[in-house]
Amino acid sequence: MHVRIYELGEGVPEVAVIGAIHGDEPCGKDAVERLVEADIAVERPVKLIIANEQAIKAEQRYVDNDLNRAFPGSPESDSHENRLAHDLLREVRGKTVLSLHSTQSSAEPFALVEEVDAVSRAVCPHLPIKKLVETKRFSDGRLIEQAHTIEVECGLQQSDSARKNAYWITRAFLSATGVLSAPIEGDVEPPLSLRQRDEGEVIVFQMLNQIPKKPANSYEVFVDNFQQVNTGDLFARADEDRYTADQSFFPILLSAHGYEDVFGYAADRVGTLR
Ligand SMILES: [Zn+2]
């Protein structure tokens, strides 16, 4: 077995938390380990999972290919991540899942779901996030396509704040799903930036297009994620090529170096949850 699993409480868990789908995003692994060490008393059983230990050890996003593009996976595959995807899906199928990630694009935490459904409608307003992204037709191979999964980008990759955010987002998720009812002994208050966002309105965005980038030596982006880019605005550069918007959009997961062949995604604002 290549997946590290902790089960807390009695009975079959209907709730799960996954850290380290990507080996170079340690925030989720740290959050899971911190909860396990806290020896919490749970109201309902929960499964806590550290997904890709081999990639963590290698300090790489993945060993053979991106695990979050490999679902549903295959037990017979030569690829480590394809086999892992199969094992992991078997562990979480039918459960309400929180999957913890971090990013190069946004210090502020936000959530992603394939499509807003009853689970995300019930849980997301209780998480310390202000923004929820529907990935829609860009869900291929992601865990969110397969299970009732809420992915959260907890902050900037390998930052201390992403690590703290991951822990408090997980705490909020476990409260929202009825796993935890009392504060954990010895816990201090969450960071002020998260407390201010608690229990507010969540703005929902929907991914519309990928923003391709051509091979170049240097890349730059000139706009902020989730801030509207207007028609004609300059938003990115690849060497001397300048990219201007031919229609207005909201950039999501936009960064100079986050992905190999896309800057990120263009989205629209489609509603709010509260
Ligand atoms: Zn990730």
Cα 184 to Cα 46: distance, rounded to the nearest angstrom: 16
Residue 267 CA to ligand 1 centre (angstroms): 19
| CA of residue 232 to ligand 1 center, whole Å | 31
Q: What is the pLDDT of residue 198?
A: 52
C-alpha 71 to ligand 1 mean position (Å): 14
99 alpha carbon – ligand 1 mean position (Å) = 9
Between residues 195 and 28, which one has the greater pLDDT? 28
Confidence of residue 40 (pLDDT cuts 50, 70, 90): confident
Ligand 1 centroid distance, CA of 66 (Å): 9
Question: Under DSSP, is residue 24 helix (H, G, I), strand (E, B) or coil?
Answer: coil
CA of 33 to the centre of ligand 1 (A): 18
> Would you state the pLDDT for residue 199?
57
pLDDT reported for residue 182:
73
Cα of 231 from ligand 1 centre, angstroms: 30
Average of per-residue pLDDT across 159-187: 90
CATH entry 2.40.10.10 includes domain 4-200: no
In the reported structure, the alpha carbon of residue 96 is separated from the centroid of ligand 1 by a whole-number distance in angstroms of 18
Using N-to-C axis directions, what is the helix angle for 27-38 and 160-176, rounded to 10°? Answer: 60
What's the 254 CA to ligand 1 centre distance in angstroms?
Answer: 14
Lowest mean pLDDT among 42-51, 76-85, 194-203: 194-203
In this structure, the dihedral spanned by the alpha carbons of residues 31, 106, 183 and 28, taken in order and rounded to 10 degrees, is -10
CA 206–ligand 1 middle distance (angstroms): 19
Compute the distance from residue 21 Cα to the ligand 1 centre, in Å. Answer: 6
Measured distance CA(123)–CA(142) in Å, rounded? 20
pLDDT tens-digit map of 179-196: 998 777 777 667 766 665
Provide the percentage of residues in the chain whose pLDDT is more than 70: 95
Strand partners, 98: 17, 150
Average pLDDT of span 153-172: 94
Cα 54 to ligand 1 centroid, rounded to whole Å:
15
Length of the chain: 274
Average pLDDT value over all residues in the chain: 92
Residue 150 has pLDDT above 60, yes or no: yes
Which pLDDT value is given to residue 1?
53
The candidate with the shortest Cα–Cα distance to 71, out of 155, 27, 135, 6, is 135
Please tell me the distance between residue 151's alpha carbon and the centre of ligand 1 in angstroms: 9
Is the pLDDT at 197 greater than 60? The verdict is no
Query: How far is the C-alpha of 263 from the C-alpha of 257, rounded, in Å?
Result: 7
Buried b / exposed e along 159-185 (16+ C-beta atoms within 10 A): eebbbbbbbbbbbbbbbbbebbeeeee
The larger pLDDT score, comparing residue 228 to residue 260, is at 228
pTM equals 0.92
Name the residue ranges covered by the structural domains of the chain.
4-200, 211-264
